[in-house]
Amino acid sequence: MTKEEWLKSNGFSPITEDTECVIGDTFAIKDKLKQMGLIYSPVIGWHCAISVELPSGYSFTTIPFDLIYEWDGARGMAYYKEDAKENAQQIFSRIAGPDHSQYIGKIGDKITCNHAFYLSSRGYYDARQKYTYIHTFRNDDNILVWFTQSPLYFEKGASVSFSATVKGHQTYHGIQTTIIKQCRFKNLCKNIPF
What would the pLDDT profile of 157-176 be if each residue is shown by its tens digit? 788 899 999 999 988 766 78
Q: Is the pLDDT of residue 134 over 80?
A: yes
pLDDT band at 192 (very low <50, low <70, confident <90, very high): very low
Contact criterion met (CB below 8 Å) for 39 and 10? yes
Average pLDDT, the chain: 86
- Every domain of the chain with CATH number 2.40.50.110 lies at 110-185
- Answer yes or no: is pLDDT of 56 > 50: yes
- Which pLDDT value is given to residue 46? 93
Confidence grade of residue 133 (pLDDT, cut at 50, 70, 90): confident
CB 25 within 8 A of CB 41: no
What does pTM read for this prediction?
Answer: 0.52
Q: Is 141 exposed, middle or buried (0-12, 13-18, 19+ CB in 10 A)?
A: exposed
Instruction: Give the model's pLDDT for residue 166.
Output: 96
HSE, CB side, 13 Å, CA atoms: give it for residue 129.
0
Q: Are strands 77-80 and 69-72 parallel, antiparallel or unpaired?
A: antiparallel
| CATH class for the domain made up of 110-185 | mainly beta
Dihedral sign, CA of 153, 157, 162, 167?
A: positive
Of 193 and 19, more confident:
19
Predicted confidence (pLDDT) at residue 194 exceeds the cutoff of 90: no
